[in-house]
Structure 1
């Protein structure tokens, strides 16, 4: 299509196309709720024709610099509607996959401020060995600040001042508390780093106060024993994909392994003689040893003997299609979601990804009154405090996890001067 059209001409064509697809009046009305402010924006800025550039300008005027994944439902609807109109203007069709405005552009740091930010990120990676997800969060947070400063015309380090930092804090989206908490933590660390490196003469990090935000207030999602059985029974183990999927899901359910570690499992990690799995966790970079339960061992053997494609790949689990590369963490997550849905169990408001299987494993240990240090070790946590937060343990549950303490002999109370008389 890619026709030059006014916004009025375009929305009429788009609406007619929606009707040809038999979309409901309610759906069309939702589109109009976005088109109205879009038309006002176009009129106010004396824009004659609509294209994707105009769409981006409109979205920026409403949301500023944004990460699609961090938007709330109303904000996503705004982006999706303008996105659909932009793609329709270019192709004459409605695109239902990932479209231009939903794909975040590469984050490119430029100028002396950008170089300083990249230096901080590299410092964090080198010093702390950040996991990829943590490094990406650092990049995302600093890029939010970078775009804000760029938008305000701040290009030199010496131009950064208390006023701009306070404005940055004020302009954060109040509906995304967890993102704001994370962003401000990274920015505070960056400002502290710049001061300690003598780049700033003032420690601007002191402007950012510690927040009382408590993450993950809801109880974790987990499945009952019967629901776990339903999930496992939904897997057809008569075909190659089912054999692989059954083995991978067992690792999550029976051992609480993360998807990244399931995807990264290698042959060298399996000690068949000692019946253990020993590997370095992707997230924590710490080694962990887990028992190779007979049920898991048999499932892995069944997959390796009768379903795994012939390959020199050192990783255990492979994708089903040529060239048979190792599965990714996303592959494992997708497999878990598929069978959780397929099992027919009631999900309601529970999360239903692979992490819920890991929570289920931990919850079962807790229900069996397993001591907290043992649960922590099984989950690969460095500290029991992480496990307590992970499980949202209350005082009563903590009492169940308590270790037995030997009775103190009466002679202890008869000590005088630090020794028994």
Structure 2
């Protein structure tokens, strides 16, 4: 049967899968070693075929405290069961199980919430991460409406104020709810337009201090990363240059494919993961050489179309967290003072934009490099350029003290 493996084929099928995904010899030996415990169990039970049900029974058996001799043996047996089940189901193997936090939409208006989320994704082409942020807000809001025993159609301003107060009027909650209320009114789901009410209150925003590094500091960070000649060090240096020289987000570095590299025209052409906008950036010599160095001297043998991959079998796609850690490590090792400043790839993206602005490059050009559709986004992104404000400031004239001491004046004592 398709969902079973004969007992005498288990070792062959297991080795084919592990070796096919380039796992180390020791990894293969460890799992074939665990296989003997499974075979012994099946022979004692008179079972000639392995199936996920047999795997479940075997997992329960080795979980018995009286049977489980060593934690490593126990973990190996559970990993073996997972591998065999994946082979039967012909599915990719997940190294870790992460508990995914759920954000349920509750109440009678669940369909409306889901339609709105689909509307954001389809019309505005928002990324999955951005839609998830809206889902998190709506999940809490739907729970609030359920506790109040209210449907969306009967919502009033007091309900909105109460919810915002409980959320401490955080910026992302405020604007997510404002956008949702606008959608409800425009589609005739609610009769009252709450837009004017939202104009009367302001979300609580923390003071945003621009987090960037000077060109000299960025160069020091790059030189430090370049000295690390391990395979992961070579990879991390190439990723660092993509962030510092071209301002790529970690999501775009992670998704970068060989097909995005136009070596003939010296261009990097890609669709931004966050905005879905197609951008074209120059493939600078230093960046191109770093990528070539990685492919030749650091990148493991893999059929992956992604330029940057994990350096551990099965050599899959990097996570944004991995890229953030790699670049943050380069900043910390560089000796640059990072006090009160971020250390991830976004800070290097911010540093590039700030350096361009200080160099007299106009906002439209900076917006094009960053992939922003509007210069307004770039202005918010850059924050306040203090040095240029000082240059634009006017001298305050010296005023005679008699002005302040005149009788009847505001400062008259």
- When normalised by structure 2's length, the TM-score is 0.65
SS of structure 2 residue aligned to 1:141:
helix
Q: Which residue of structure 2 lines up, in the alignment, with residue 229 of structure 1?
A: 219
Distance in 2 between the 1:239 and 1:105 partners? 36
Q: Which residue of structure 2 lines up, in the alignment, with residue 190 of structure 1?
A: 180
Q: Are the equivalent residues in 1 in contact too, given 2:231–2:298 (CA < 8 A)?
A: yes
1:117 correspondence with 2:107: no
The 5 A counterparts of 1:91-130 are: 105-130=101-126
SS of structure 2 residue aligned to 1:347:
coil
Match of 2:164 among 164, 169, 186: 169
Q: How much does 1:107 deviate? A: 0.7
Distance in 1 between the 2:212 and 2:340 partners? 11
Distance in 1 between the 2:203 and 2:388 partners? 24
Q: Which residue of structure 2 lines up, in the alignment, with residue 309 of structure 1?
A: 300
1:280 correspondence with 2:271: yes
1:132 correspondence with 2:99: no
Q: Which residue of structure 1 lines up, in the alignment, with residue 231 of structure 2?
A: 240
Q: Structure 1 residues 193, 393: CA separation in 2 closer, same or farther (over 3 Å shift)?
A: same
Q: How much does 1:396 deviate? A: 6.7
Q: Structure 1 residues 143, 369: CA separation in 2 closer, same or farther (over 3 Å shift)?
A: same
Q: Are the equivalent residues in 2 in contact too, given 1:141–1:187 (CA < 8 A)?
A: yes
Q: Structure 1 residues 371, 185: CA separation in 2 closer, same or farther (over 3 Å shift)?
A: closer
Q: Are the equivalent residues in 2 in contact too, given 1:362–1:375 (CA < 8 A)?
A: yes
Deviation above 6 Å: which 4+ runs of structure 1? 398-401
Q: How much does 1:116 deviate? A: 1.5
Q: Show CA shifts across 1:260-319 (max 9, x none).
A: 111111101101111111111111111111111111111100100111111111110001
Q: Between Structure 1 and Structure 2, how many residues are aligned?
A: 293
Q: Are the equivalent residues in 1 in contact too, given 2:107–2:145 (CA < 8 A)?
A: no
Q: How much does 1:109 deviate? A: 1.1
Distance in 2 between the 1:132 and 1:397 partners? 38
SS of structure 2 residue aligned to 1:238:
coil
Segments of structure 2 that go 5 or more residues without pairing to the other structure are 1-98, 393-413
Q: Is 318-327 or 339-348 further displaced after alignment?
A: 339-348
SS of structure 2 residue aligned to 1:117:
helix
Distance in 1 between the 2:287 and 2:355 partners? 18
The 5 A counterparts of 1:261-272 are: 261-272=252-263
Match of 2:155 among 160, 169, 172: 160
Higher relative contact order, chain-length normalized (CA < 8 Å, sep 6+): 2
- When normalised by structure 1's length, the TM-score is 0.64
Task: Flag the structure with larger Rg.
Answer: 2
What is the RMSD of the two structures over their aligned residues, measured on CA atoms?
A: 2.6
Q: Which residue of structure 2 lines up, in the alignment, with residue 389 of structure 1?
A: 380
Distance in 1 between the 2:245 and 2:391 partners? 21
Q: Which residue of structure 2 lines up, in the alignment, with residue 347 of structure 1?
A: 338
Q: Which residue of structure 2 lines up, in the alignment, with residue 415 of structure 1?
A: none
Q: How much does 1:394 deviate? A: 4.5
SS of structure 2 residue aligned to 1:208:
helix
Distance in 1 between the 2:385 and 2:183 partners? 37
Distance in 2 between the 1:263 and 1:361 partners? 19
Q: Are the equivalent residues in 2 in contact too, given 1:189–1:205 (CA < 8 A)?
A: no
